[in-house]
Structure 1
Amino acid sequence: MKYNKLGDSNLNVSEICLGTMTYGQQNTIEEAHQQLDYAVAEGINFLDAAEMYPVPTKAETQGKTEEYIGEWLVKQQRDKLIIATKIAGQNPKMTWISGGKNQVDRPNIQQAIEDSLRRLKTDYIDLYQIHWPDRYVPLFGAPDYDPKNERDTTPIAEQLEVFAELIQAGKIRYLGVSNETAWGVCEFCHLAEKVGLPKIVSIQNAFSLVNRIFHINIAEACRFNNVGLMAYSPLAFGLLTGKYLHGVPENSRVALFPGFEQRYRKTNLTEAITAYVEIAHKNNMTPAQLALAYVRSRWFVASTIIGATTMEQLKENISSVEINLTEEIIAEIDEVHAKYPNPTP
């Protein structure tokens, strides 16, 4: 396992980050702890959670993911681990979080951090992230940006002021964003420098073989602002494993939560995945290993977030760190991308 410095923080994070959004929904607490034990034994020191987890989020289970991690964390050497979690952005449908009035403002930030600290059974969070922007932006595969959808939002400078107080109080160490845009990255960094407030060190956005949108312009913004990418959904909701090419396996996420994968069901997706699966098999690796090795190989990726519901999946995903793609394999991948560019942006 290799470790990378996350942005301009002093956090050296494992190149694989263990995502935990299935804990409390698809995974029991015993299964979660088994995964956590194995991941740490394999050299992973970076865990990612969120106040709204598990997914799909609902009132009955919200917060269980952090609770499961907390029960495990109290038995570990806390200073050896890097714990990341997130505050939910605006979503009036999530009435069980802040009564549906979950703007990223002072009262909600203060409540969210206290709730996460309590559930995680820790005194501090290493990386605290804004799960999605407080302002309007197209999210999760939504159509193009439309100014007509603008809404009331807490100014970024005001958000940073509250996070600065939490850093000063020792409750969080560093700040990150998620599902952000190039403009958002630049604005967060510019305002932090201008006003003397904490600068973001990371961004957590989707990036995979079938979604390379990040590479177009957000990568440039992150490069010049020294913001590291935590790449989520590197397997495109499991579709890049190829297991859905011939139907929907029993107990898979798509089977359990039909319609939940619609972000990824787009034109040319099947054709692209079929081609990537062929490349993987031709080069004696699994499709999942190819997909994860590709994400890990990109210069702007600080850590690749993996998720698994079984130990077999977890072991396969972690084993991808042993694979380094040759220039020839990258060229094959780029040929497929040129033919089927970004089917799931």
Structure 2
Amino acid sequence: MVRSTTIVRASDALPLAASVDDDQTEQTLQEYKQQSKLIFRRITPNSEPRCSIESGPYILHYLISDNVVYLTIAEKSYPRKLAFSYLDELSKEFAQSYGAKVDSVRKPYAFVGFDTFMSKTARLYQDTRTADAAESGLDKLNGELQDVTRIMTKNMEELLWRGDSLDRMSHLSTSLRSESEKYRKASQKLNFDAMMRQYAPLAAVFLIVSNKNGKTFDNDELGLPKAPTWSVHELLNSYPPIELSDETLTRLHTTAALFPPEKDSSEFKELKNQMEDLIRLVEAVRVAPLPFTDSPDVQKPHLDGRIWPEERGLNLHEFNNKVEEQDNTCPPEGRKLLERASRHTNGFYLVDSSQVKKN
């Protein structure tokens, strides 16, 4: 016999109506009603529209129609054909009475008044012989759809196990994706750090400088301006253009575990130009001569790894032409001076003047 019935909205499992059960029935079916709630949560648009789920001495039959799930708990001996005839009867009446309001309701059990019809119909299907007669009087209630071979049958333990397995597999899959993403980012960081360590010595000699523009600069105790007066433009003009191949730029990205822009794209060309200017800037600083300052305020000039600015800035080409004219008393310049640098601070290489004299 049919023991209890519940109607919910399929999209979010919101209860719409339910049969009124006495205390004894409520206590007896408490476990199976909890299983019903689990079934409602597991239903998806791809779920079987008609299904019977065995659970102990009972079978939970459900029917899905127009975004509404009709579920009844019946004894295992009760014919499934009659159980689905009963659910079909409920679905037709419910769709006619409340079908247009199903998607708009927000409160649970908004159609509690439907219990009256459920109670009358349940009494009609209480006895199998009476139910058979009623079924004949109702044109067999879509008999072909009620055929046993057309109804999916499952076991509650199977449903619970499959749900647990699917949840666990989903969790494992999410964890694997998360760990894979962490590993990828860590690999990129390691490659980038390695590249930075390789090119850090060159980056340390960069001079981020600007034109003097008529401003007065403060000098340190050695008579050297605290702020460099060279501009990046002057440095770039002091070194011939560099042509960086597409393959080299791509290889730099690969070394850093990065994806380069698409070749022949504007982004690729812009990045290539920036890298070429960067290389020119490094080379210009690396080969620039480092002459003495002529400042009268300095009694005993000392050497360091900075390029000494003078008024409007140094003319690199002019100093390059004078290298051969300097005698042996002049200090080493450019790359030779940097090779004798023993330490660096704040991005500058320092050379001890006593070390220069010894060498």
Highest Rg: 1 or 2?
A: 2
- State the TM-score, normalized to the length of structure 1: 0.20
Bigger fraction of residues in helix = 2
Which structure ranks higher in relative contact order (CA pairs < 8 Å, sequence separation ≥ 6)?
A: 1
